[in-house]
Amino acid sequence: MEVILDNLPLYLRGFGMTLYLLGLTVLFALPLGALVAALRISPVPSLRVVAAVYTEWLRNTPLTLVFFFIAFVLPRIGARLDYEIGAVVALTLYTAPFFAEAIRSGVNAVPVGQAEAARSIGLTFGQTLGNVILPQALRGVVPPLINVTIALTKNTSVATGFFVFTLVSTGQRLANQNGDQVIPILLGVAFFYLVITIPLGQFADRLEERVVVNR
């Protein structure tokens, strides 16, 4: 316990970086995911293919490989990124397809009759999406989006291997310095992850309950 309190600044440094990666990645990956989802349900076949290939490719590639690509391959071809920005780019590219799939499944869960009724009273494609489809899709979409965000929180730890000081770096450094107290040190690391993930999970559960009640 003491080792945690004594090194609180180091924990907070790792925690801050983890939050930073999480926040920026959500900020970029969510709109990118929405765009990919829109492409996947668009009437244009070539756009659907592009979105599908991107989604399936990234979803089936280990995150570490994506990091390797950003950290070592991009500089070779002349694109030098700051390590933290590189981590955000890797996490964004990797997470966006998961967001996209969550959004797409929510949209698909809305019966087609809803869109047909909307179009038949003269709403445009945009109005139909905005007034009828998305409001109904959203209720079902937020819980899976949160689950992706929880997975992302844990995935930020991969940046540790690529010179970014995350919560796991805190744990590594402290464990090296205090070999006899590894267990409390790691429990401390876990605690800070839980500070992020448990409230997110509870929020998702609460929304899920509300959706059930509303139906």
Partner 1 sequence: MEPLVVLDNVNKHFGELHVLKEISTTVGRGEVVVVIGPSGSGKSTLCRAINRLETIDNGTITIDGKQLPSEGAELAKLRADVGMVFQSFNLFAHKTVLENVTLGPIKVRRKSRQEAEKRAMELLERVGVANQAKKMPAQLSGGQQQRVAIARALAMDPKLMLFDEPTSALDPEMINEVLDVITGLAKDGMTMIVVTHEMGFARKVADRLLFMADGRIVEDATPTDFFDHPASDRAKDFLSKILTH
Q: Which two tokens stand for residue 17?
A: 């970086």
16 binds partner 1 (CB under 8 A): no
Q: Which of 13, 48, 119, 173 binds partner 1 (CB under 8 A)?
A: 119
Rounded Cα gap, residues 188 and 190, in angstroms:
5
Closest CA to 136 of 125, 148, 144, 128: 128
177 binds partner 1 (CB under 8 A): no
Strand positions, DSSP E, 35-106: none
Q: Which of 127, 176, 177, 202 binds partner 1 (CB under 8 A)?
A: 127
Stretch that binds partner 1, among 106-114, 145-153, 162-170, 194-202 (CB under 8 A): 106-114
Least Å from the CB of residue 144 to partner 1: 19
Rounded Cα gap, residues 21 and 89, in angstroms:
10
122 binds partner 1 (CB under 8 A): yes
121 binds partner 1 (CB under 8 A): yes
118 binds partner 1 (CB under 8 A): yes
Rounded Cα gap, residues 215 and 208, in angstroms:
11
> Vertex 19, ends 15 and 22: CA angle to 5°?
140
Q: Which of 124, 176, 177, 202 binds partner 1 (CB under 8 A)?
A: 124
Number of H helices, E strands in the chain: 11, 0
Stretch that binds partner 1, among 28-36, 80-88, 115-123, 191-199 (CB under 8 A): 115-123
**Site residues (vs partner 1, CB under 8 A):** 111, 113-114, 116-124, 127, 131-132, 135-136, 139, 215
